[in-house]
Structure 1
Amino acid sequence: MITENYDVIVIGGGAIGLATAYHLGKKNAKTLVLEQFTFLNQSGSSAGVSRQFRIPYPDEYMVKMALEAIPYWDELQKETDVQLLDKVGTLWFGDPEVRSTEGNIADAEKSLKALGIPYSTLTSKEIEEQFHFRNLPDNYTGLFQPGGASINFKATIETLLNLCQKDDTIQLEENSPVLKITPKGKLFEITTPHGTYITKKLAIIPGPYINSVINLLDFKIEATYWNMASAYFRKTDPNIQYPTWFVFQNRIEQNGNQFYGFPSVDWDHPEYIRVAPDFVITPLEEPNDRTFIPNPQELQYTSDWINDHMTGLNTQPEYTSTCLIALSTIQDKELLIDFAPPYVPNHKNIVVYATGWAAKFTPFLGKIMSDLVLDGKTDFDISPFKLGHKYFLAL
């Protein structure tokens, strides 16, 4: 089967791929979404039920991005009766000298101050008194920003999928891995096990499987792959509640010693609190090595930390899962958004989103990607993420 005259083919049907298709549909662009697995699958970076939305970041441009995402969350919320964001605030605490993949507490305070974002500072004792933690070192400090939220990520993806299914301009194809991309003059021919499709433009958004697609265009990106563990711990105190939080601590040998957590919410094991390690002991060589079974040592380190520093919880997890993530090897750069490199034919009509944690920006990134692929530009400043000229590598 050959289907012609698509305006855009989106490769990758996870959260951001569906958000991109949704915004393309609003512009009446004839769109095809190709997903290598099934929609709503748990095999990539869309795995799991919840995510954190936060405003604290060490860089001002990231704080601005979080603020710019809010109206797009509000817009998406109008499309569903299910609450997508449960606003509980964001707590960052720990050793003020520690720098991690999440940033640094002092740098985040500077960014929040520079942009006039309200937050409060906390001593270790105040963190214990107000947020149910215990036995924290005296030198630990914290910041609390009330705009943070727990994202019902499962409902977010379901809402986007439902909107795409209702839109006559959008076609959805699952179990359709891309096998070949052939430039044809100003067009592209995309081959999958189910057929060949013709399009004017490409939006490549396959999450951690990015290299399996862009390798077909003879370039790649350096990435590391984490099979991230996650666990749910039963509340022993039914009234206990936590905000979304992250603790900054120095590594102790194999123990990355950095953890994050969520509140209990009605839509995700309400009698449990989710706590997870923000490190992996052994990164994967490539995404197909992922497993749905968490590393037991990472879970044990998490249980030990809960035992030492949290209250109102059992210390052994009852539900566990994993999430696959590709992270850029570029220092302090999570997200890469750019056009394909100039040596790729018709490169100005290929937009790539690659690597990083971005669930918190899902509807906003959909808008940005749809702008770039249709118009070749966006009104939003993506210069901090437009790094392909430096970090996309020819094969």
Structure 2
Amino acid sequence: MAQRVEFVVIGGGAMGSAAAWQLARRGREVVLLERFAAGHVNGASHGPSRNFNVTYDREPYLGLLVEAQRLWRELEGETDARLLDLVGMVTHGGTGEYPELEAGRAVGIPGEILSAAEASERFPGIRFETPVLWNPQGGRLNADASVAALQSAAAVHGAVVRHESPVIAIEPHGDGVTIVTESESFAASVAVVAAGAWSAKLLDGLVPLPRLRVTQEQPAHFALRVPDADAESRWPGFNHRPRPSGDEWWPTPIYGMYTPCFGVKAGWHGSGPVTDPDARSFLPEPAQLALLQRYVAEWLPGADPERLEPISCTYTTTPDHDFVLDRVGPLVVGAGFSGHGFKFTPAIGRVLADLAISGADAGPQALRLARFR
């Protein structure tokens, strides 16, 4: 017989763990089901670092950014964990024009424009050609520690967290939804599905998702050329946009940050090969890795392009690169974070909890499924 529970969250990565935390801290009964063991590397929520990139110029992302920073600090307070380091963020390249500056200032996100020479003096590990947008409230998140903290906080508030519990069936019905795993089943009022690269497989025939493109991305950590005890203060997070005329060897914009104990992380944004999340190679694609080394050699003078450790992760990307946050019957969906979702994690958890408790109108209209119809 199925165990009765108010809410089931499917997916124990960042977004699902945040939803479980938000539901549990409101006193709701919740079970979080994750198919893999704790700390696994199969999805998009592992690793030591993610950019806390604040260069957005439209809603709902600006509001979610402000909320996310507040909630990251609340989570740190609950768990005594260090998760968000505001080492700042530089954005450069492209046209050298930044509508994100005024958009951010309008919601309290500070920023200023530096000349290339000023930026080079402040941040000698990076080469600049264009004016640079400097955001001191940008920074770096510890992804592994964040997921662990979210699950720990959820459990403290009463959530049941179960790893190695793959869901094999989701069965909506008039009274809610039944969730079946390999060893047990749950009868819930609402299920929150935040399954990353597995979203389309789990929700096929149940929710009218857009095409979700799952890719295997291959950033890498590059060693510093010279050991630097002050590296944390001398390396901001960075975004680098291609020249308007195009560099034919650049596949996409690039991002990165210094990662303590690992080196400088750099990666192409969403250029990896399409993959099946259950049949990944986890091996870097040689041509893209070679281009990444070329980028480091030309644009990151403080990093060594020959001393590197490749990384493997997934992107799950929507056709418009915006998130899907919506509810269809007893199913709440958080999907398609398109390689730029992690910074928003606790705010996304709040939205998913609102959708689960209050219904479809509780989420941002711009991120609903109706835009694809």
TM-score for both structures, normalised by structure 1:
0.85
Contact 2:212/2:317 (<8 A) preserved = yes
Equivalent position amino acid for 1:366 in 2: G
The answer to whether the aligner puts 1:319 opposite 2:271 as a matched pair is: no
What is the CA deviation profile of residues 326-370 of structure 1, one whole-angstrom value per residue up to 9, with x for unaligned ones?
A: 01012xx42110112xxxxxx1x3211111131111112112211
Matching residue of 1:353: 334
Instruction: Classify 1:18/1:125 alpha carbon distance in 2 versus 1 (closer, same or farther; 3 Å).
Output: same
Instruction: Classify 1:42/1:136 alpha carbon distance in 2 versus 1 (closer, same or farther; 3 Å).
Output: same
The answer to whether the aligner puts 1:4 opposite 2:8 as a matched pair is: no
Matching residue of 2:161: 172
Matching residue of 1:194: 183
Contact 1:256/1:279 (<8 A) preserved = no
**For residues 378 and 155 of structure 1, what CA distance do their matches in structure 2 show?**
32
Contact 1:236/1:314 (<8 A) preserved = yes
**For residues 171 and 60 of structure 1, what CA distance do their matches in structure 2 show?**
34
Query: Of residues 305, 314, 322 in structure 2, which corresponds to 1:334?
Result: 322
Contact 1:303/1:317 (<8 A) preserved = no
Q: Counterparts of 1:98-247 in structure 2 under 5 Å? A: 105-115=97-107, 117-133=109-125, 136-137=128-129, 140-168=130-158, 170-217=159-206, 219-239=208-228, 240=231, 241-247=234-240
**For residues 207 and 218 of structure 1, what CA distance do their matches in structure 2 show?**
15
Contact 1:372/1:378 (<8 A) preserved = yes
Moved beyond 6 Å, runs of 4+? none
**For residues 44 and 275 of structure 2, what CA distance do their matches in structure 1 show?**
16
Matching residue of 1:302: 292
What is the CA deviation profile of residues 106-165 of structure 1, one whole-angstrom value per residue up to 9, with x for unaligned ones?
A: 23134124445321112222222221156644xx22100100111011111111122233
Which range moves more in the overlay, 305-314 or 18-27? 305-314
Instruction: Classify 1:207/1:90 alpha carbon distance in 2 versus 1 (closer, same or farther; 3 Å).
Output: same
The answer to whether the aligner puts 1:374 opposite 2:362 as a matched pair is: no
What is the CA deviation profile of residues 82-122 of structure 1, one whole-angstrom value per residue up to 9, with x for unaligned ones?
A: 3111111110001227xxxxxxx523134124445321112
Instruction: Classify 1:176/1:391 alpha carbon distance in 2 versus 1 (closer, same or farther; 3 Å).
Output: farther
**For residues 135 and 188 of structure 1, what CA distance do their matches in structure 2 show?**
54
**For residues 135 and 32 of structure 1, what CA distance do their matches in structure 2 show?**
48
Q: Aligned to 1:39, what secondary structure does the other structure show?
A: coil
Instruction: Classify 1:136/1:52 alpha carbon distance in 2 versus 1 (closer, same or farther; 3 Å).
Output: closer
Which range moves more in the overlay, 53-62 or 71-80? 53-62
The runs of 5 or more residues in structure 1 that have no matched partner are 98-104, 341-346
**For residues 24 and 244 of structure 1, what CA distance do their matches in structure 2 show?**
32
**For residues 378 and 66 of structure 1, what CA distance do their matches in structure 2 show?**
20
Contact 1:14/1:40 (<8 A) preserved = no
Matching residue of 2:367: 385
**For residues 25 and 107 of structure 2, what CA distance do their matches in structure 1 show?**
32
**For residues 319 and 169 of structure 2, what CA distance do their matches in structure 1 show?**
27
**For residues 368 and 60 of structure 1, what CA distance do their matches in structure 2 show?**
14
Instruction: Classify 1:254/1:306 alpha carbon distance in 2 versus 1 (closer, same or farther; 3 Å).
Output: closer
Equivalent position amino acid for 2:132 in 1: G
Equivalent position amino acid for 1:277 in 2: W
Q: Give the CA deviation at 1:209.
A: 1.2
Matching residue of 1:275: 266
The answer to whether the aligner puts 1:256 opposite 2:251 as a matched pair is: yes
Q: Give the CA deviation at 1:221.
A: 2.3
Matching residue of 1:26: 25
Contact 2:92/2:128 (<8 A) preserved = no
TM-score for both structures, normalised by structure 2:
0.90
Equivalent position amino acid for 2:84 in 1: L
The runs of 5 or more residues in structure 2 that have no matched partner are none
Contact 2:19/2:352 (<8 A) preserved = yes
Equivalent position amino acid for 1:274 in 2: K
